[in-house]
Structure 1
Amino acid sequence: MNLRRFIRYGLVGLGNTLVHWLVFFGLHSGLGSSQARSNLLAFAVAASFSYYLNAHYTFAVRPSHGRYLLFVLGMGALSLGIGALADRIGLSPWLTLVAFSALSLVLGYAYSHTVVFKRRAP
C-alpha cells in the first residue's frame, strides 16, 4: 500500500464525509427520508466530489465515465446496504454515518486502488 496515496485518499475523504453527513441529516432529519434513501442520496452527492478529487489528486489518472460508474456502483451498493441494515435493526443515524464512514475509508480505498483507478498497461 502506498502510504502517501492512502493519506491523500483520507484527506479527500474528510471533505467527502462532511458533504455526505450534511446531506444525510438534511434529508433524514429535515425531510423525514429513511436512512437507506438518505444515505444513498447523500452518497450520490458526495461521490462526484470524491471521485474527481481522487482521480486527479490521489491516483493521478484521467477521469472517465466508466471509472465513475464503477466507483458509484460499488460504493453506492455499500452505502445502500449499510443504510438498509440500519433501518432494519433500528440503528441510530449517527452510528449509520460512523459505520459507513469507517467502512468506506478502508473498503473504498481498496476498491478504488484495485478496481476503479487501477492503471491499465499500455
Structure 2
Amino acid sequence: MSRRMPAFLKYLIVGILNTTVHVVVFAALLAAGNDQALSNLVAFVAALSFSFFANARFTFRVPVSLMRYCVFVAGMGSLSASLGYIADSQGWPPPLTVGLFCLVSLPLGFVFSRWVFTEKRTWIFR
C-alpha cells in the first residue's frame, strides 16, 4: 500500500524553500537602498518562479503554461505589493513585513494554487 503525501504538506515544503528565496532577495534589495514595496514585490517574483514550477510538478502534478504563470503572478503579486505598500505607509520594520507576508500567503496561496493548478481548468490555462 502506497501512501501519498498530502498536497498541503508538499505545498508547505515548497513554501519553506520559496520563503528562503524570498527573504534573501528582500534583504539584499533593502540593503541596496530600495524601499519595502519594491523589495517585497521583486523578492516575491523571484521566489514565485521557483514556487510556480515546483508546485506545478511536485505538489499538483499538472503541466505548466504561460497563462497559468501569469494568473498566479497577478493574484499573488497583488497580495505582495499591497502588503509592501501598507508596510511602507505604516513604517513597519522589514522583519515584520516579511514574517506577515509568509503567514498570510501560506493559506491564501494554497487556496489560490489549488484553483490555478486544478486539472479541470486546464483548458483555461493552455
Give the TM interval when normalised to the shorter protein: over 0.9
Deviation at 1:118, TM superposition (A): 1.4
Moved over 3 A (4+): none
Hey, what does 1:110 align to over in structure 2? 111
Query: What root-mean-square deviation, in Å, do the aligned CA atoms of Structure 1 and Structure 2 show?
Result: 1.6
Deviations 1:18-61 (A, max 9, x none): 00000000001x21101000000000111100000000000000
Asked if 1:36 corresponds to 2:37, the answer is: yes
Q: The residue matched to 2:6 in structure 1 has which SS?
A: helix
Q: Which amino acid aligns with 2:21?
A: V
Deviation at 1:120, TM superposition (A): 1.6
| Residue segments in structure 1 that go unaligned for 5+ positions in a row | none
Q: Kindly report which structure 2 residues correspond to 1:46-65, keeping only aligned pairs within 5 A, or say none.
A: 46-65=47-66
Larger Rg: 2
Give distance in 2, aligned partners of 1:31 and 1:10: 30
Q: The residue matched to 2:102 in structure 1 has which SS?
A: helix
Deviations 1:51-89 (A, max 9, x none): 000000000000000100111111110000000000000
Hey, what does 1:27 align to over in structure 2? 29
Q: Which amino acid aligns with 1:51?
A: F
Deviation at 1:6, TM superposition (A): 0.3
TM-score (norm: length of structure 1): 0.93
Asked if 1:16 corresponds to 2:5, the answer is: no
| Residue segments in structure 2 that go unaligned for 5+ positions in a row | none
Deviation at 1:109, TM superposition (A): 0.2
Q: The residue matched to 1:91 in structure 2 has which SS?
A: coil
Give distance in 2, aligned partners of 1:100 and 1:111: 15
TM-score (norm: length of structure 2): 0.90
Deviation at 1:119, TM superposition (A): 1.5
Give distance in 2, aligned partners of 1:83 and 1:31: 17
- Number of matched pairs: 119
Hey, what does 2:119 align to over in structure 1? 119
